[in-house]
Amino acid sequence: MSWALRRRILLAGMIPASLTARAAIAQAWPAQPIRLVVPFAPGGTTDLVARLVAAGLQDRLGVSVIVENRAGAGATVGTDIVARSTPDGYTLVMSNIASHAISPSVYGGRVRYDAVTDFSHIALVITNPTVWVANPRSGIRTLQDAAARAKGPSGLDVATSGAGSSNHLMVVRMGQLIGKELNHIPFRGAGPAMQAVIAGQVPMMSDSLPSAASHIRQGSVTAVAMASAQRHPAFPDVPTFREQGFDLASDSWFGLSAPAGTPAPIVQRIHRETMAFLAVPETRARFSELGGTPGDLTPEGYADFVRREVAAWAPLVQASGATPD
């Protein structure tokens, strides 16, 4: 049992709250600004999606929704902060595949929260594929170019948003397929990693499509391969990994979660307003432009989704040998 869950059980025993009191709190909500924690640095997909969602919820709820970036340790630092917060609906986290599915296995005992039981999961916001991009001056245009560079004397450096991300595991798996370990260069978020690639400090990056999309369109990076089953409709000229002879496919996902014990009426309200925001044609068009697909799960459905992701990724992390270092 995690520390955060034990704390809430102890508090529940010390300060019994009636259903009436909890209902009154939920009815008055929201009465103050809401904090939305992004467990990565600014500039990546998690941050980008969070700011779109924050603006949408702010309009619909009538209170400020403040995005707070708390990066570190594969998205577990900011996520742990939320797990330990008061479950009153005023602190949320942009839960994602790193914080809630992969990093708990990569970081092991260093992670103090349980990705399933320490959260009230609210909504799956968006899913999207992974894309590998390269600095245009790197000479890398195809995955075969990348493989050849990897087998050279200096190997191939590949940046990611951090250890414990799905993009990190893509780097590990690609090295296994090539037969030569790639040099994983973790950053504290996709934004800093992308800037390093654009500056030529790192030749290549494994990234989520939404945070890479604008850079691909601007030509500041070259899209080398898409980790989707088929070519992505937003980028039909970018070949898939499988088309280039590498059997890899990976989707990232991003959602909203709150500390466990958040009153059900508040969870339902946030879910309802999030779904309404995602249904707006302008929102769907923006996500489509970024290469993402809006989610449509209920809170119960999203909780089950997270539970399945945790179970699915744990053996893959173990088999990959991925570590935080």
Secondary structure, 3-state, 123-175: EEEEEEEEEEEECCCCCCCCHHHHHHHHCCCCCCEEEECCCCCHHHHHHHHHH
**Mean pLDDT, rounded, for 119-131:** 96
Percent of the chain with pLDDT over 90: 79
Decide if 316 is inside a domain: yes
In total, the chain counts a number of residues equal to 325
What's the pLDDT at 262?
Answer: 98
Amino acid at 72: G
Tell me the per-residue pLDDT of 131-160, one tens digit each, with 9 for 90 and over. 999 999 999 999 999 999 999 999 999 999
Decide if 137 is inside a domain: yes
Decide if 38 is inside a domain: yes
67: its two tokens: 């995005």
Q: Report d(CA 92, CA 278) in Å as an integer.
A: 18
What's the pLDDT at 23?
Answer: 64
What's the pLDDT at 290?
Answer: 87
Asked if 165 and 75 touch (Cβ cutoff 8 Å), the reply is yes
Tell me the per-residue pLDDT of 52-102, one tens digit each, with 9 for 90 and over. 999 999 999 999 999 999 999 989 999 999 999 999 999 999 999 999 999
DSSP 112: -
What's the pLDDT at 321?
Answer: 80
CATH code of residue 199 = 3.40.190.10
Of 212, 244, 276, the last residue of a domain is 244
CATH code of residue 26 = 3.40.190.150
Decide if 61 is inside a domain: yes
Asked if 278 and 284 touch (Cβ cutoff 8 Å), the reply is yes
Decide if 325 is inside a domain: no
Tell me the per-residue pLDDT of 236-259, one tens digit each, with 9 for 90 and over. 999 999 999 999 988 899 999 999
Decide if 138 is inside a domain: yes
Asked if 96 and 189 touch (Cβ cutoff 8 Å), the reply is no
18 with 122, same domain: the answer is: yes
Helix ranges (DSSP H) in the chain:
3-14, 19-28, 45-61, 76-83, 97, 103-107, 143-150, 166-178, 190-198, 209-218, 264-279, 281-290, 299-320
Q: Cα 52 from chain centroid?
A: 14
Of 244, 269, 303, the last residue of a domain is 244
Tell me the per-residue pLDDT of 11-62, one tens digit each, with 9 for 90 and over. 455 445 545 555 666 779 999 999 999 999 998 899 999 999 999 999 999 9
Asked if 197 and 164 touch (Cβ cutoff 8 Å), the reply is no
Confidence of residue 319 (pLDDT cuts 50, 70, 90): confident
| Those residues with Cβ within 8 angstroms of residue 16's Cβ, 6 or more apart along the chain or in another chain | none
Q: Choose between 315 and 19: higher pLDDT.
A: 315
Q: Which residues pair with 225 in a beta bridge?
A: 132
184: its two tokens: 């994983």
137 with 233, same domain: the answer is: yes
To the nearest whole number, what is the mean pLDDT of the chain?
92
21 with 119, same domain: the answer is: yes
Decide if 260 is inside a domain: yes
Of 244, 264, 279, the last residue of a domain is 244
188 with 105, same domain: the answer is: no
DSSP 242: G
Q: Choose between 152 and 7: higher pLDDT.
A: 152
Asked if 120 and 262 touch (Cβ cutoff 8 Å), the reply is yes
Q: Residues of 205-239 as b/e, b for ≥16 C-beta within 10 angstroms?
A: bbbbbbbbbebbeeebbbbbbbbbeeebebbeebb
29 with 115, same domain: the answer is: yes
Q: Check whether the bond before 30 is cis (ω within 30° of 0).
A: yes
Q: Residues of 163-188 as b/e, b for ≥16 C-beta within 10 angstroms?
A: bbbbbbbbbbbbbeebeeebebbbbb
Helix (H, G, I), strand (E, B) or coil at 313: helix
211 with 175, same domain: the answer is: yes
39 with 147, same domain: the answer is: no
pTM above 0.85, yes or no: no
Percent of the chain with pLDDT over 70: 92
The neighbour count for residue 242, using CB atoms within 10 Å, is 16
Q: Report d(CA 44, CA 2) in Å as an integer.
A: 29
What's the pLDDT at 318?
Answer: 86
220 with 121, same domain: the answer is: no
22 with 111, same domain: the answer is: yes
194 with 134, same domain: the answer is: yes
Decide if 293 is inside a domain: yes
Count of domains for the chain: 2
pLDDT at 303 exceeding the cut of 80: yes
Q: Choose between 267 and 289: higher pLDDT.
A: 267
183 with 238, same domain: the answer is: yes
7 with 120, same domain: the answer is: yes
| 213: containing domain | 129-244
